[in-house]
Every structure is written in C-alpha cells, then in structure tokens.
Amino acid sequence: MTDNDVAVVRPKPRSSGAPPEPAASAPSPSPNRARGKTGTTIRSRERWAALSFLSPWLLGLLAITIGPMIASFYLSFTDYSLGYGEWVGGENYAQMLDDPRLAQSIKVTAIYTFVSVPLQLAAALLLAIILDRGLRGMAFYRSVFYLPSLLGASVAIAIMWRQVFGTEGLVNQLLALVGIQGEGWVSHPDYALGTLIILHVWTFGSPMIIFLAGLRQIPTMYYEAAKVDGAGVMRRFFSVTIPLLTPIIFFNFVLQIINSFQSFTQAFIVSGGRGGPADSTLFLTLYLYDQGFTQFNMGYASAIAWLLLAIIAIFTALNFLMSKFWVFYGDND
Amino acid sequence: MTETPTPARPKSKGRERHLSVGVRRFVFHLLLTAAAMVMIYPLLWMLSASFKPIEEIFSDPGLIPSTWEWSNYTEGWNALPHPFEKYIFNSMVIVAGSIIGNLVSCSMAAYAFARLRFPMRGMLFAIMLGTIMLPIHVVIIPQYILFNNLGWVDTFWPLIVPKLLATDAFFVFLMVQFIRGLPKELDEAASIDGCGYWGTYLRVIMPLCMPALATTAIFTFIWTWNDFYSQLIYLRDVDLQTVPLALRLFMDSTGTTNWGALFAMSIVALGPIFGFFLAGQRYLVRGIATTGIK
C-alpha cells in the first residue's frame, strides 16, 4: 500500500488467526448446500467456486506480491541495473556497512519514527478521551481533527508545509507578530526533520477515531463500580480506562510504527526530492528511491528494501514481545 | 459495609460537582476550539492565500485577502505543459479503474473467505492479512522490472491492474468482517431458492454489502487520488502526469516564484478529497470502526 496513515485494521480476536471453522476438517458438507447429491460432489463444487472467487486475488498474490518478493530477495544478491545484472553474492550487504548515506538514512528514519509516533498517539488519546465525554458539538470536533489525517499524505499538503515552515512562511509571520525572528525551518538541517515530525503528529485523527471506538467499548459498569469504591476521576482514568485501552494503544502503536517507517511523500516533496538539507530528511525510503529509480542500482536498492523489511519485522516482533508486559487482555477474551 | 455519610456532605459535594461540571465543560470547549483552530488554520490560510497577491502571501498571516486575485487560479491552471484539466482527467482515469478493480476483486475474495470452505483457508487468510502490512518498497523494484518488460511503464496499467487483482488486501479484510456479520440464513434461503454460489454472491451478499462497498470506494478514491509514490515511478511521460505529479512539477519548475498559483492548484487538488470527506464521513468513520473494533 501507499505510505498512507489511514489504513486501519485491527484483527479481532476471533479473526486474527484462522477463520472460525477449519476448512478441510469439516467431515460433512453443510446441510444447506445438500441438494440430494453426494457429499463429495457438493464439497468439490464449493471448492471450485472458492477457487473461482479467489482467482483474481491468488493471481495478484503470486504475480504482484510473492513473486516480486522472491525476485527482490534474489536481486539483492546481484548488481542488477535495468536489463543487466550479475550475481555478486553478499556484496550489496557488505557495501551497506560502509555507506555513510545509508547510516544517515537509518538514523533519520529512526528519529522520525520514535519521536513522531509517541507524540501522535498521545495527541490522539488525549483528544479521544476529551471527545468521549459526550460534549455537544462532538461530531464537529471529531471531523475537524480527523480531516488532516485524510489529507496529510497528499502532495498539496507537503507543498503547504514547505511554505508554512519556509523562511517567509506562515510560522515566521506569526512569530514576527510577537517579535521573534524565525529560521527558514525547512531549509535548516537542524529543523527540517522537525517540521516533518510535526506534519506526522498533525495527522493524529485516524488513531483518534480508533481510540474513540475503543473507549465506547468499555462497559460503564466498570466506572460505576470504581465510583462506588471511591475512585476519583484520575484514579478511574489510570485504573479503568488505560488498562482496558491497552490493546488498542498497542494496536495503534504497531500500525503507526510500521506506517512511519514507510513514509515517503512528505519528505520527498518538502526536501525537493533529495532528502536535504544536508541529508537531514533522507528517509530510508528516499534513499531506496534514489538508488533504485534515479541511479538504477536496483540490486543495491533491493538489498535496502530487505533491510527496511527486516527493521520493520524486528520492531513489530519486539512490540509483540513487549506487549506481554503492559497490554491487558480481559480474562474472557 | 459503607459508612453512613453525614447529611451535609453529599449536598455540598453535589452543588460543587454541578458547578465544576459546568466550568469544566466550558474549559473543555475552549481548549477544543483552540486546538481545532490550530489544526485547521494552515488549511484555511492556504485557501485564503490562494486568492492573495504574491507579496501578501509572505507578509500577511491573516485570512482575508486585501484583493481577491482570481488570476492565481487561471494562471495556475495554465502554467504547465498541459492545462490542469488534463491532469485531473488522468487522475480520474486511474481512480475510476482502481475503484472498479477494488470493488469487484476484493468483494469476490472476501465472499470466498467469509462463506466458502476450501482447503488451506486458514493459511491463505493469514497470508492475506500479512500482505496488508507488507511495505510496497519491498516489491516495487521487481514490480517495476515486470511492468517494464511488459511494456507497461508510462501507461496506466501498472496502477490499475494490481487493483483488479485484489492487492489492496485491507479492503478484502474489511469486507470479510462485514460479510461475517450478515446472517447465514440468507445464504441458506438463497440456496433453497436455487441460487448457486455466484447467484448468492451477486443477488444476496453484494446488495447487503453496500455500506462496505461504499467505504471501499471512498477510501480507494482518497488513497489513489493522493497516491504519489507509484505514480512517480510509473508515469514519467508528461502526457500521463496526474494531479500529484503535476503539483510536484509545478513546484520544481516555478519554485518559489509563484506561490499564489501553486496554492490555487493545491486547493484544486484537495477539493475532491474534502468533498468526499463531507459526503462520506459516515462511511469513513464506520469503516475504521468496523475493521478496528466491532
């Protein structure tokens, strides 16, 4: 998918693994399909029907997803460049070790992800809790906060950001009103990444919607029970709301980490396509694009792609491992 | 178990609470309005800047242009090799193809996963979920080589064909969730009335899936309209450029010289998303809520 932040999926407990009834183990065909024929015929008819319904997806899976994945892994051991390439073994991976721009891009991506995601989720959670109080006009506020997350990935917004944080941009105009002379934020190596982090935080709307839906799921009887036991507002928040919301916090965290490792458009546009100034916004994805589609070092770019996948996989796995210590699943879930 | 409270306490506490609820509500509204303003101000400012004369864009943080420069729009519209409607048309072709592709292919796969039994269903379902999270960056280079060998680079096919093959697995998942919520008795009734699997899919499941289909269509519209990465890679021919590519070209070619016109075209680019947001908000929020939490 694109580097979009609106993608939201939370596998429900019952659907996270296999669908409810395991396929082959069902001993007899379901009665509703039986039309007086033998079981085997009906079951094979169902299988053929399934195959026909799944055929576009299966073809896509093989030709557009799994095939290219395998090819990409193979290419990462070659020096392929459009139409020509030879097996070079682990050379691409060895080259990574002393590639200062790669190291820089990993650093930039890591800072971006680990600063912007916690800030974004904190904003999302805070606003969700405030909006959950059922204030009048809640739907209006929700829309206003959600809108930026729909627009955030677009080129137009990145262009806007470039002006807003430019030397004579909106931010500096506002700062001038209070007598502060601002920098050219997007053109300063120390601040350019910061403007992208702010852009990411600005799109807190979609995790906020997920938090809101999660807050609705908390049965009011828990709050009533806590109240009866004498728990104040803060106590109820930290002892009821937060523990019951941890699965959703965890879900949002995993999703946003994965998304922000893949961010591309905003950094590309704000930096004019080069990840500058001084490589300060050179995301890993930008470096991959530069290697693969500007310099056509597709072998090396494939190796970078697998590095990206490995990083994402490792952090997702770490997240799941650490979730045991802080995510609270109800006893009956 | 509980001690009897003194008669005075609950009363005073009640009054205090009542007052503090009112005050707190006011403070919340104040804070929320302030936060909403901060969030939305850059957008409003860009809208107003698209009507401002150039000097004012760099000097006036306010929202009201001193003179209304409609020329920003006419200039921006014609500033590139093609008039802007050409780029809108190209974007629309890709968007339309993607929406049709996603609606057909994702709903077919979803019906199979939700209703039919077949070997390896659990495993395939897990793979499908896994592909939702797969970064496009891992497959983009071989995909490019593949489409290049097919002669499809600089055509719309690399952007539309994957949608016809249900590669946006997110929507498959969304529809599986939705179809599972439909009563199975409907399928049984259809089967008794002589509907085969295709009949059930077309005449029973699809009509009931309208909300999920609407969510899919709206999200596909917004994502495809916003998409930059794959369009940047596959569309280099100037005749095939789309709205995001045109904006980028505009920014690079005129740079910082004509911000008014650039903002005007940015507003044009954001307009359809905003429209879909207003019209389809219900479906967007519901889409997030049903895939998120049911």
For chain B, the structural domain boundaries read 16-73, 82-292
Section A253-266 average pLDDT: 92
- Nearest beta carbon to residue B219 from set A6, A153, A301: A6
Examine residue A277 and say whether the peptide bond preceding it is cis (omega within 30 degrees of 0). Answer: yes
pLDDT interval class at B46 (50, 70, 90): very high
Handedness of CA B203, B205, B206, B210 (dihedral sign): positive
Residue numbers in B near A166 (CB within 8 A):
256
Pick A6 or A314 by higher pLDDT: A314
Rounded mean pLDDT of B256-278? 88
Rounded to the nearest integer, the mean pLDDT of chain A is: 84
* Tens-digit pLDDT profile for residues B98-120: 999 999 999 999 999 999 999 99
Residue B257 pLDDT > 90: no
Question: A87 - beta bridge partners?
Answer: A78
pLDDT, greater one: A135 or B147: B147
Q: How far is B147 from chain A (nearest CA, A)?
A: 10
Report d(CA B89, CA B92) in Å as an integer.
5
Q: How confident is the model at residue A28 (pLDDT cuts 50, 70, 90)?
A: very low
Q: How far is A86 from chain B (nearest CA, A)?
A: 15
Sequence-distant (≥ 6) Cβ neighbours of residue B194 within 8 angstroms: none
More confident residue, B180 or A16: B180
The string over A99-117, giving b where at least 16 C-beta atoms fall within 10 Å of a residue's C-beta and e elsewhere, is beebebbbebbeebbebbb
| Complete domains list, chain A, with CATH | 28-75 (no CATH), 93-326 (1.10.3720.10)
**What would the mean pLDDT of B281-292 be, rounded to a whole number?**
66
Give pLDDT, residue A38: 54
**Neighboring chain A residues of B285 at a CB cutoff of 8 Å:** 142, 146, 209
Comparison of pLDDT for B22 and A26, the residue scoring more? B22
What is the spatial distance between Cα B113 and Cα A54, in angstroms, rounded to a whole number? 8
Please state, in angstroms and rounded to a whole number, the distance separating the CA atoms of residues A2 and B228: 8
Q: Strand pairing partners for A81?
A: A84
Whether B236 shows a pLDDT value over 70: the answer reads: yes
Contact B226 A4 (CB under 8 A): yes
Instruction: Give the residue on B whose Cα is nearest the Cα of A29.
Output: B117
Please tell me the distance in Å from A296's CA to the nearest CA on chain B: 10
Closest residue in A to B168 (Cα–Cα): A1
For residues B86, B92, B95, B100, the Cα torsion angle rounded to the nearest 10 degrees is: -130
pLDDT at A7 exceeding the cut of 50: no
Q: How far apart are CA B20 and CA A154, in angstroms?
A: 43
Query: What mean pLDDT is predicted for residues A2-26?
Result: 40
A123-155: burial string, b at 16+ Cβ within 10 Å, e else:
bbbebbbbbbeeeeeeeebbbbbbbbbbbbbbb
Please determine, for residue B198, whether its predicted confidence score (pLDDT) is greater than 80: yes
Q: Number of A:B CB contacts under 8 A?
A: 333
DSSP output for A115-144? HHHHHHHHHHHHHHHHHTT--TTHHHHHHH
pLDDT at B254: 67
pLDDT tens-digit map of A105-149: 999 999 999 999 999 999 999 999 888 877 777 888 888 999 999
**Contact yes or no for A122/A203 (Cβ under 8 A):** no
Q: Please report the ipTM that was assigned to this predicted complex.
A: 0.86
pLDDT at site A145 = 92
Taking the CA of residue B243 and the nearest CA in chain A, the distance in Å comes to 9
- Check CB contact under 8 Å for B125 and A19: yes
Residue A295: predicted pLDDT: 92
> What residues contact residue A188 under an 8 Å CB cut-off, 6+ apart?
A277
Token pair for A56: 């576009």
| Pick among B25, B29, B98, B138 to test the A interface (most A CBs inside 10 A) | B138
Q: Give the separation between CA A305 and CA A74, rounded to whole angstroms.
A: 12
- Which tens digit of pLDDT belongs to each residue from B1-33? 444 444 444 444 445 556 677 787 788 788 889
Q: Name the pLDDT band for A32 (thresholds 50, 70, 90).
A: very low
Band the pLDDT of A26: cuts 50, 70, 90.
Answer: very low
Task: Give the whole-angstrom CA distance, residue A306 versus residue B139.
Answer: 10
> For residue B232, is it left (φ>0), alpha (ψ between -120 and 50) or beta?
alpha
| Residue A46 pLDDT > 80 | yes
Confidence of residue A21 (pLDDT cuts 50, 70, 90): very low
As a whole number of angstroms, the distance between CA B243 and CA B223 comes to 13
Position B291 pLDDT exceeds 80 = no
The total of other beta-carbon atoms located within 10 Å of residue A229's CB is 11
Contact A281, A199 (CB under 8 A): no
Give the pair of three-digit tokens for residue A1. 């998918």
Mean pLDDT value across residues A207-235: 88
Least confident of A24-33, A68-77, A103-112, B77-86: A24-33
Contact B196 A49 (CB under 8 A): yes
Residue A87's SS3 state is strand
Instruction: Measure in Å the smallest separation between the Cα of B239 and chain A Cα atoms.
Output: 19
Q: What pLDDT digit, counting tens, does each position of B66-98 carry?
A: 888 888 899 889 988 899 999 999 999 999 999
- When CB atoms are compared, the residue of B127, B132, B259 closest to A9 is B132
* Amino acid at site A83: G
Q: Return the higher-pLDDT residue of A3 and A63.
A: A63
Q: What is the pTM of this model?
A: 0.85
Which residue of chain A is at minimal alpha-carbon distance from B163? Answer: A60
CB contact under 8 A, B263 and A160: yes
CB-based contact A159 B247, cutoff 8 Å: yes
B263 has pLDDT over 80: yes
Chain B residue closest to A169 (CA)? B58
pLDDT of residue B22: 79
Which residues sit opposite A84 in a β-bridge?
A81
Residues of chain B contacting A160 with CB distance shorter than 8 Å: 42-43, 46, 263, 266
A296 or B6, greater pLDDT: A296
* Alpha-carbon torsion (A208, A209, A214, A220), positive or negative: positive
User: Residue ranges of the alpha helices (H) in A61-167?
Assistant: 67-75, 91-97, 100-131, 138-151, 155-164
Our CA-based measurement puts residue B217 at a distance from the nearest CA of chain A, in whole angstroms, of 14
Architecture of the domain defined by B82-292: Orthogonal Bundle (1.10)
